[in-house]
């Protein structure tokens, strides 16, 4: 990837314009550079959220609630406005990978924590997002849940 393009995108991102970075530079490329960077969460709109998910930047957000929020915002943009088909496929793959990791960890812990009520938890919000709001992933969700039934 062009070093000048990456530097320009990073400078713009530091000024609050995240579009050039999250649209054109995959997170794996950015991560290799070892440049410390932090998003201002309040400045992320639906379009930027869609590209954050599609290009793998969710890993920069340690909070599951922030990741969930970004997925919701990004999915809304994806459904209403649309993104290119290759980015859409990446969005779905990254959304599924994140959900599957969280759900498998939750299902592994459920047996240990059977006395704790799980309604209203972050996991149930993830279940709703994947099962209802992203219909392309519903079958995968059902298959995953069947594995643990």
C-alpha separations of 75 from 3, 47, 105, 136 in Å: 30, 9, 23, 11
Is the Cα dihedral 78, 80, 81, 82 positive or negative? positive
d(CA 145, CA 101): 13
Provide the residue range defining the domain that includes 132.
3-147
Q: What is the pLDDT of residue 111?
A: 54
For tokens 């990978």, the residue is 97
Q: Is the pLDDT of residue 80 over 80?
A: yes
d(CA 31, CA 57): 9
User: Which one is predicted more confidently, 74 or 3?
Assistant: 74
Give the pLDDT confidence of 101-125 residue by residue, as tens digits: 988 888 777 655 444 444 456 678 8
Give the pLDDT confidence of 34-66 residue by residue, as tens digits: 888 899 999 999 999 999 999 999 999 999 999
d(CA 139, CA 137): 6
The count of structural domains within the chain is: 1
User: Which one is predicted more confidently, 20 or 113?
Assistant: 20
pLDDT band, residue 1 (cuts 50/70/90): low
- Give me the chain's average pLDDT, please: 87
Q: What is the pLDDT of residue 83?
A: 92
Residue 73's contacts (CB-CB under 8 Å, 6 or more residues apart) are 44, 45, 46, 49, 50
Please indicate, yes or no, whether the overall pTM of this predicted structure exceeds 0.75: yes
Q: What is the pLDDT of residue 119?
A: 47
């Amino acid at each position: 990837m062009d070093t000048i393009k990456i530097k320009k995108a990073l400078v713009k991102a530091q000024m609050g314009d995240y579009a050039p970075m999250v649209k054109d530079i995959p997170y794996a490329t950015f991560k290799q550079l070892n440049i410390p960077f932090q998003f201002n969460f309040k400045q992320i709109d639906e379009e930027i959220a869609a590209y954050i998910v599609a290009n793998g930047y969710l890993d920069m957000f340690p909070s599951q609630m922030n990741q969930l929020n970004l997925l919701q915002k990004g999915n809304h943009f994806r459904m209403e406005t649309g993104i290119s088909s290759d980015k859409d496929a990446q969005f779905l793959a990254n959304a599924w990978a994140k959900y599957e990791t969280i759900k498998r960890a939750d299902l592994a812990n459920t047996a240990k924590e059977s006395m704790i009520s799980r309604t209203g938890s972050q996991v149930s919000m993830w279940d709703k997002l994947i099962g209802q709001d992203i219909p392309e992933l519903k079958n995968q969700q059902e298959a995953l849940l069947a594995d643990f039934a």
